[in-house]
Structure 1
Amino acid sequence: MDDAAFLRARATLLGLAMGDALGMPAQTLTRAEIRARYGRITGFVAPFAGHPVSHGLRAAQVTDDTEQTLLLARRLIADPVGFDEAGWARDLLDWEAGIRAKGLQDLLGPSSRAAIEALLAGASPEVTGARGTTNGAAMRIAPIGIMTPPETAALVARVARTCRVTHNTGEAIAAAAAVAMTVSCGLAGADLDAALDPALAACRAGQAQGNAVGEPDMAGRIALALRLAEGGDEAALIAGIGSSVASRDSVPMAFGLLRLARGDLWRALELAANVGDDTDTIGAMAGAMAGALGGSVPEAAAAELHAANDLDLDGVARGLLALRAAAERQP
C-alpha cells in the first residue's frame, strides 16, 4: 500500500470526522445564534443544554455524517463487486435504532426514512429516492472517492448506485459525484486546482443520472461558489450560496470554503462550524475533501477526536485502499 495514499485516505476520514464534530454544536443554528451561544467556534465544544438536535453529545463527538460514512464504507468493503441496496437500507435502519436507544435525536431525515421503508416493503429503488435532493448522499460519499480511481464513468456509476435508494435525483447525485471525484483526485495526489475540472465533469455526468428533480445545474452552483470565494469574501459566499441541507446550497458551500481556506484544513473546518444552518455536514464534506487534497491534520485535534469516539478510521482507510488498488490493476 502506498504510504502517501494511506496518509491522504486517513486524512480524508479524519477531516470528515473533525468537521462533523466541530460543527455539531452549531447545527441548525443561524450565524447570529452561533455567536450568541459560543462566540466563534475555534475548537471542539459541547452543545448547549437543550440543543434541538445535538443535546446528549459531548465535545468532539461525531454525528450521523461520520457514522453513516463509516457504515457505507463497511458495506462497500464487505461487498466490493455489487451493492446490496436492501442490505444498505437495513444498515441505515439498524443504525437509527442504535441512535434512538442512546436517547439521541440525530436521526434519519423523513425523506430517507420513508424511502428506506418503501424499499423494504417491496418498492423499486428506482422509485424510493425519486424526490431526495438533500445532502445525505453527498455527506457520506467519501468512501467511493477513496476506493475508486478518478475515471468519470466508473466513479459516477458507483456514486449513483449508492445514492438511489434515498437520493435518486440529478441534484443529489451530481453533488455527491463532485465530492467523490474531488476525494478520488486527492488520493491520486492532486490539489484543489487540479481536482476541480474532473470534479465538475463528474458533477455534470451525475446530473444526468436519476430523476430530473431539484437544482438543474449543480456544476454551475459549485462554480459560482468558487468565484464568490476567490476574493476571500466569506460574507459574499454566504449571501450568494446559503448553507441549508439542500445539496444545491451545502455542497457548493463546502467547495467555496475550501477555496477560502487555501489548503488549510482546520481553517476550512472552522469556517464551516460558524457558517450557520447545516454546519456539521458542510464541515464533514469540506473536511473530507481538504484531507484528501493534502490538507494537514492537526494531531492534537485528531487525538481529542479519537478520545471522544470509538472510530477505526485507519482500518477503514486500508480496506478502501485495497479496493482502489484492485481497481487500478484491472485492464
Structure 2
Amino acid sequence: MSLSIVTTLVRNLIKVPSAVLRSRVAKDAEVLALRHENAVLRRQIARVRYEPADRIWLAALSRFVPRERWRQTFTITPTTLLAWHRQLIARKWTFTRHRRPGRPSTAPAVKQLILRLAQENSTWGHRRIQGELARLGYPIAPSAVWEILHPAGIDPAPQRSGPTWRQFLTAQAHGIIAADFLHLDTISLKRLYALIFIEHGTRRVHLAGVTAHPTAAWTVQQARNLAMTQGRRLEPLRFFLRDRDSKYTRSFDAVFEADDVEILLSPPQAPKANAICERVVGTLRRELLDRMLIYNEAHARAVLAEYLRHYNGHRPHQSRQQLPPDGAEPATPATVTNLQAHRIRRQRLLGGLINQYQRTA
C-alpha cells in the first residue's frame, strides 16, 4: 500500500470522531446537502474516476450502511462496491508479489549464451543450439530457445546470411602464406632488401635473407631454403600470396606448387590486398628499424633474426588472444597472480631496445 493511500485513509479516519459528536439535526442536514450535491454531480459527470484510496474508504463505510440504502448513499452500483471489497480480501490473502505465474523465466546468462551461439554459428537452428546447451549442462526446451531468438531478430538457420568477411578470412587464413620485400638503409645510405614470409593463420614471420641486390635467382633460392627448413609445416598451406614483382619468376612459383600450394597474385599497386604483410613491415619499422642504425648486411641479418625470435616466441598478438605466433593456446584461462609472491624478470634484447618480461618464483 502506497504512502498516498495511507495518508488519505488517516485523513478520513480523523474526520469520523467529529462527525459522531455532532448533533443529529446537523448530521441530517449535512447528509441531505451531500445527497443533493451527488445528484447534481451525477447529472453532469458521465463516469467518476476513483483512486485506490477512495475505493478502500467507500468499501469500509459500506459495512456500516444497510444494503438497501446503498443506492441512495453511494454514487456507484452495489455490484461494483462488492467487487471492490472482494479485491481487498484477495490482496490480503494472496502473495503474488512473491511469485510469478507460469514456469520460471530463463536466466539472463543463458539468454546471452543462446544469442552468442546463434551469432557465432550461422548454420545452427534452435534445436541444434538446444542440444549444445544440454551438453554444456543447461537443460532448456527447444521452444524456449526459439522464443529467445525470434524477438532478437535472428532468423532460422537456413534464412540467415552466410559467414561474415571476418569469419571467412579467419577460416581461410590457416592455409595462406604471403611474401613481401622490405627495404632498409644502412648508416652509409646503402639500401638493403629483406625477403620475409608470414603465415596468416599463426602470424609467424620467416626471414628468408638480406641482400643489396635481390635477383630472380636469389629469390628462388630463398624459397627453396624456406621449403627445406620448414618441411612438413608447409603441408597445411594451400595458397601463396605475392605481388607482381618481376623477381618472382616461374621458377619461384614452382617451388610452392610442388607442395600443392596455389599461387595468388595481388592486383597491381594494391598493397592492401597483402595487408598482413604490410602490417608486419610497419611493425618492423616502428619497433626496430626506425630506432636503430644498420651498419651492413650481416648486422641487418642479425638484428632482424633476433627481433623475429622475440616476435614469434614472445610478442603478444591481438588476433591470437594475446598469444605469440609460436605459443600454444593455454588449457585453462590465465588467472590473477599475487605479484608479491613472484618476481618479474626483465630480459634485454638488442641492447635494451626490446624488453621481455618473465615471471620467476
TM class by shorter chain equals under 0.3
**Structure with the higher fraction of residues in strand conformation:** 2
* Higher Cα Rg, which structure: 2
Normalized per residue, the structure richer in helix is 1
Q: TM-score, normalised by structure 2?
A: 0.22
Q: TM-score if structure 1 supplies the norm length?
A: 0.23
Instruction: Pick 1 or 2: higher relative contact order, CA cutoff 8 A, min separation 6.
Output: 1
